[in-house]
Amino acid sequence: MKRLSLLAACAVFLACGPGANINFKNGFPRAETVKLEFPSKGASALTSNTGTNKDALKGDHSSFYDITRGVTLGVNTGVGFVLGLVKTIADHHPTSTTADTAVWGPYTEDLSPNTWKFTVTAVGQDYNYKLEGKPKTAGDSAYVTVLSGTHTPALDQNGNAIEGFGAGTFTLDWDAAKTLPEHDNNVGKAVVQYSRPDATSDVTITVGFNQVRDDATGNLVDANYTYAKHPGQGGSFEFSTNKNLDEAHSALIEHLTIKSRWNPDGAGRADVKATGGDLTSEATANECWDSNFNSQYMAASWAPNVPELNYGDEATDCAFPTAEYSNL
């Protein structure tokens, strides 16, 4: 969702010296390991976000495609920045090593009030890692863990790790980072689980955000995401959140879910459901788009007689002819 401001940590770790560490450099997921890949075609696919409320017409650019695309980009940005930082650290020699543990730091940038330390431990074929920070004048008991995780690298037939592939889980703790003297405005936590065995196997990624700030309202919300990609067959992406969909008239909170599916050529479908809050019954919306991401079918349960929200033939205009709602 949001970037973790650890640029200072990245800078101080560069002091570790050049070269990659052979024993520990495969103990981390790369940004591409947990990337949510969603079909795109040019910049026009990126013009909308989750705040978009534009009604599409048949042949117009698909609104729910844009929403799904915007959410996947937001998740990629939030977790990819930190994993890029981890890779930068891992590309340099650690400060100290033992038979099973490498430590980078502690280091303090010249003008920074924060001190950072990164540790990775090998446990068989697995690796545990954590990024810790503390006020530079405090003792070691003041360290807080900002990033922690476990990674199992995928291995080739010779037993060598394949960069960018593997399975594991990690937690980003923005609340912990907020206790440091220098921090950004992010709050909450994110837990990421992933499995990307190799280039031909299915990819699965789940992300759970806990009490993070909604950019649109400033409120703290929870949100959950699941992603699956089937090489050569397309993929699916689901997300859910609890938020007020009608803040102008009510303070009640609705539960919103979206499930999007797509074929290898990019043609796809989104099925949306909202429940609770002001709603006396569930509200649904369904949209299908073609390989150019133009809307071909739309149905809105709350406004069945509005032409802008109901058009097309579900049986013939949809890559997936039946609705499939998220259970998140």
Residue 143 pLDDT more than 80?
yes
Question: How far is 75 from 21, CA to CA, in rounded Å?
Answer: 29
The verdict on residue 22 lying in a domain is yes
- Rg from Cα positions in the chain: 22
Collect all residues with Cβ–Cβ distance below 8 Å to 122 and sequence separation of at least 6.
23, 24, 27, 100, 101
Does residue 184 lie within any of the structural domains?
Answer: yes
- Is residue 2 in a domain? no
Tell me the residue range of the domain where 22 lies. Answer: 7-317
How does residue 136 score in pLDDT terms, banded at 50, 70 and 90? Answer: very high
Per-residue tokens: 126: 């697995």
Residue 201 lies in a domain: yes
In a domain, 323, yes or no: no
**pLDDT band at residue 183, thresholds of 50, 70 and 90?**
confident
Residue 11, pLDDT above cutoff 60 = no
Written as six digits, the tokens of 144 are 């807080």
Q: Which two tokens stand for residue 328?
A: 């998140």
Does some domain include residue 127? yes
In a domain, 83, yes or no: yes
pLDDT digits (tens, 9 = 90+) for 190-247: 999 999 999 899 999 999 999 988 877 788 889 999 999 998 889 999 999 998 888 8
pLDDT digits (tens, 9 = 90+) for 268-293: 999 999 999 999 999 999 999 999 99
Q: Which two tokens stand for residue 22?
A: 């052979």
Residue 1 lies in a domain: no
Mean pLDDT across the chain = 85
Residue 87 pLDDT level (bands cut at 50, 70, 90): confident
Length of the chain (residues): 328
**CA separation for the pair 264, 81 (Å, rounded):** 27
Between 235 and 59, the more confident residue is 235
Number of domains in the chain: 1
Helix (H) or strand (E) holding 173: strand 161-173
CA 309 to chain centre: 30
